[in-house]
Structure formats: structure tokens, C-alpha cells
């Protein structure tokens, strides 16, 4: 299980625009651990097993996600267009991580406070947890690739000149489907099509 305590060296980090990351991660770890512990007791029920598996997967991924995000947050300012125009691919990736953390925290907190209520839509929320667990995994993989790029880069040169093409192939082969949400299918009658024209 992920360590749910905040690291003692967190206060010494200079993360600039992303100084809230350690606190966001710490808060999310506590909620994920609580949900995993709760749903573990009910894994005999298939839908609760999905909850448990999803929360457990996020817990097993969150430390590497945090480590990658912290490293990228420290490096991001070195690759800004200018001191006035803060922007680069690393910052975009960190915004994705922030949004992911906030969304998972909201979902996990909802599950935590409503899981024992009669009207808790367990099937719907188990699918949400499963989907976000996949997003967590892919985002962690993206951060690992970004770390490789940072390690081979020099400040003010966002992309290294000599970079292993095998790594680029691996990045291109990452499954991106989880970032687009679950597939939704529906049928449209012939009459509906003509009325929408």
C-alpha cells in the first residue's frame, strides 16, 4: 500500500506554480487507502471487487506518479519560452496530472462518503473508478517518459537532439484510449436523422 504520510522533505521543495502537488497527493493517498480498505472487505461482490481493484491500482501507481510529477515540476521552468511566457509541454503534462488528481480526489471522496448509502450507484461509480485507474496508469507512464527526456535535455532546449528512437516508439504505442473516456454507443432511428438536418 502507498505511504499515506506526507514526506518530511516536502516543505523544502521549490515547485513554483505547482507547489500544491505534494498536498494534493497526500490528501488523495489517504482517501484511496481508506476506500481500498473498505472495499477489500466486500470483494465477494463483483462490483465491490471492481472498486477494490481500481483503488488498489491507483494506490500502487500514485507514488511513481508523484515522483515523476515532482521531478517534472522542478524542471518545467527551465524550458519556458521566456520568463514572461511560462509555457511548455512539461507544464501541460503537469496540468493533466493536477486535473487527474483533483478528479480522482472528488470521485474517491464521493465514494467514501456515499458508499454505505442506499442510493449509491455502485455500478456507475465502479466504472468511473476503473476508468480513472487506467488514466492513472497511463499518466504515470507518460511521466516516466518525460523524466527520460528531462534527463537527456539541457535548459532552454525542450527536446534533446540525440534521443533514443526506441523510446519514441514506445511513447507512440501507449494506449491513449483511457484519456477519451468510456465508449458510448446508441442507435439513431431514420426519423431522428431527418429531423436533425
Contact 50, 129 (CB under 8 A): yes
Q: Using alpha carbons, select from 34, 44, 24 the residue that is nearest to residue 111.
A: 34
Express each pLDDT in 8-46 by its tens digit. Answer: 444 456 788 899 999 999 999 999 999 999 999 999 999
Position 186 pLDDT exceeds 50? no
What SS3 class is residue 154? strand
Exposed (0-12), middle (13-18) or buried (19+): which is 9, by Cβ within 10 Å?
A: exposed
Q: C-alpha distances in angstroms, 96 versus 35, 48, 62, 101, 121?
A: 23, 28, 14, 9, 27
What pLDDT is stored for residue 184 in this prediction?
46
Mean pLDDT of the chain: 81
Domain layout of the chain by residue ranges: 8-195
Express each pLDDT in 64-120 by its tens digit. Answer: 999 999 999 998 888 877 777 787 888 888 998 999 999 999 999 999 999 999 989
Exposed (0-12), middle (13-18) or buried (19+): which is 130, by Cβ within 10 Å?
A: middle
Express each pLDDT in 124-157 by its tens digit. Answer: 999 999 999 988 888 998 898 888 888 877 776 6
Amino acid at each position: 500500500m502507498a505511504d499515506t504520510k506526507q514526506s518530511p522533505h516536502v516543505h523544502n521543495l521549490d515547485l513554483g506554480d505547482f507547489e500544491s502537488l505534494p498536498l494534493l497527493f497526500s490528501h488523495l493517498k489517504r482517501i484511496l487507502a481508506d476506500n481500498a480498505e473498505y472495499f477489500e472487505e466486500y470483494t465477494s461482490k463483483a462490483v465491490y471487487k471492481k472498486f477494490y481493484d481500481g483503488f488498489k491500482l491507483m494506490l500502487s501507481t500514485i507514488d511513481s506518479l508523484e515522483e515523476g510529477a515532482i521531478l517534472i515540476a522542478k524542471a518545467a521552468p527551465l524550458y519556458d519560452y521566456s520568463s514572461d511566457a511560462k509555457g511548455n509541454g512539461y507544464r501541460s503534462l503537469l496540468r493533466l496530472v493536477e486535473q487527474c488528481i483533483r478528479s480522482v480526489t472528488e470521485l474517491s471522496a464521493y465514494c467514501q462518503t456515499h458508499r454505505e448509502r442506499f442510493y449509491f450507484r455502485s455500478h456507475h461509480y465502479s466504472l468511473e473508478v476503473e476508468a480513472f485507474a487506467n488514466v492513472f496508469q497511463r499518466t504515470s507512464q507518460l511521466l516516466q517518459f518525460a523524466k527520460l527526456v528531462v534527463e537527456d535535455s539541457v535548459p532552454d532546449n525542450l527536446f534533446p537532439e540525440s534521443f533514443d528512437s526506441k523510446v519514441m516508439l514506445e511513447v507512440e504505442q501507449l494506449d491513449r484510449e483511457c484519456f477519451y473516456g468510456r465508449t458510448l454507443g446508441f442507435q439513431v432511428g431514420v426519423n431522428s436523422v431527418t429531423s436533425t438536418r
